[in-house]
Amino acid sequence: MNRVLGVIEGSGPGPLNILLGGIHGNESAGIKAINQVFQEIKTHKVQVKGTLIGIAGNLQALLKNQRFIDYDLNRCWLEEKMAQVYRKEQHAQAEDIELFALHELIISYRNKHKRGEKIIMDLHTTSSEKGNFVVIPQNEARHPIVRALKQPVVVDLHQYLKGTMLRYFMDRGFLALAFEGGMIGSQEAIELHAAGIWELLQASGSISTNTEKSSLSESEILEEYARNLPDFIKVLYHHWIEDDDEFVMQPGYENFQAVTKGEIVAHDKHGAVQAPVTGMMFLPLYQNAGNDGFFIVEEIPVMEHS
């Protein structure tokens, strides 16, 4: 697989849209959606303004269909780590190579794109049901592009996850958003991601809103998937797990499912793990990788974060 899935240098000035899929190697839905959109743009000769680039994340982990090889490629976007991988002789771990290559590529496009908005959309899928939502920096919750995606918006998740790509590029002049498309390996995630990409392209002015590209209405697809889900949520509790915790989530939890304080939601080597607060279950861990056991979130009013 090539790192660059597609590039379009548009016919006129416009935004820089960077689409990223597969930063976790077991989440290929984003890559499939990006390929699909590039193919449709070509087939329907869609006029693009600005620059559009699709990028594959963790190439080595994608080959093995695993989340990562040596370390999580979405927890390492930190100044000191970057300085380390730029001392080239020290690419001792698989993800060092990936991190370096991604950083070089994205920064080179950022530096070429002097004017116009810069947007990076990082496409993910989750190991639990109903995992469609958007993560953004808090003060961008009402940005037109974020609103166009119509998904539940988590306004503060990035504060709980150290070293995310989202946070790194948010600090470097991008509107950065992570778009979780649903369950790992599902067809729905590809459909939702593709719909989200089209809406991003329209809302950012990269393509015109009356572009004829398919019979499906992307806006309707996005709306359908977000039906009955909250608009804006924030984190109440984050259950961090150590590698030797022997953490096992109780089966059957979905994102946004109600949980009550005291409810046994998981077990680890110390015994039962209870929900410390009442709220909604979020990102329950159903894979053997990662240090985020689960979150508990609550819905917040739309206007609170305007």
Binding site for Zn ion (CB under 5 A): 24, 27, 124
Sequence-distant (6+) residues with CB within 8 A of 208 are 47, 202
**Toward Zn ion, which CB reaches closer, 119 or 123?**
123
Report the residue number, 14 or 131, with the smaller CB distance to Zn ion.
Answer: 131
Name the H helices within the chain: 29-43, 59-64, 79-85, 94-112, 144-148, 165-170, 187-203, 218-225
Task: Indicate the SS3 state at residue 33.
Answer: helix
Q: In whole angstroms, how close is the CB of 280 to Zn ion at the nearest point?
A: 20
Position of minimal CB gap to Zn ion: 124
CB nearer Zn ion, residue 96 or residue 180 = 180
Smallest gap from residue 165 Cβ to Zn ion (A): 10
Smallest gap from residue 51 Cβ to Zn ion (A): 25
**Of the candidates 34, 41, 32, which has an alpha carbon nearest to the alpha carbon of residue 10?**
41
Query: From CA 31, how far away is CA 23, in angstroms rounded?
Result: 10
Least gap, CB of 76 to Zn ion (angstroms): 13
Residue for token digits 């979150």? Answer: 295
In angstroms, give the least distance from the CB of 173 to Zn ion. 23
State CA 29 to chain mean position distance. Answer: 11
Burial of 177: CB neighbours in 10 Å, binned 0-12, 13-18, 19+: buried
Q: How far is the CB of 242 from Zn ion (least distance, A)?
A: 20
Residue number, 24 or 130, with CB nearest to Zn ion: 24
Q: For the stretch 131-149, what's the b/e string if a residue is b when 16 or more beta carbons lie within 10 angstroms of its beta carbon?
A: bbbbbbbeebbebebbbbb
Per-residue DSSP letter, 115: S
DSSP 270-300: TEEEE-SS-EEEE----SS--SEEEEEEEE-
Shorter beta-carbon distance to Zn ion: residue 51 or 128? 128
Among candidate residues 274, 273, 250, the one with its CA nearest the CA of residue 262 = 274
The distance of closest approach from Cβ of residue 84 to Zn ion in the complex, given in angstroms and rounded to an integer, is: 23
Indicate the residue among 125 and 202 with the shorter CB distance to Zn ion.
125
CB nearer to Zn ion: give 24 or 32: 24
Smallest gap from Cβ 108 to Zn ion, in A, equals 24
Q: Which is nearer to Zn ion, 24 or 239 (CB)?
A: 24
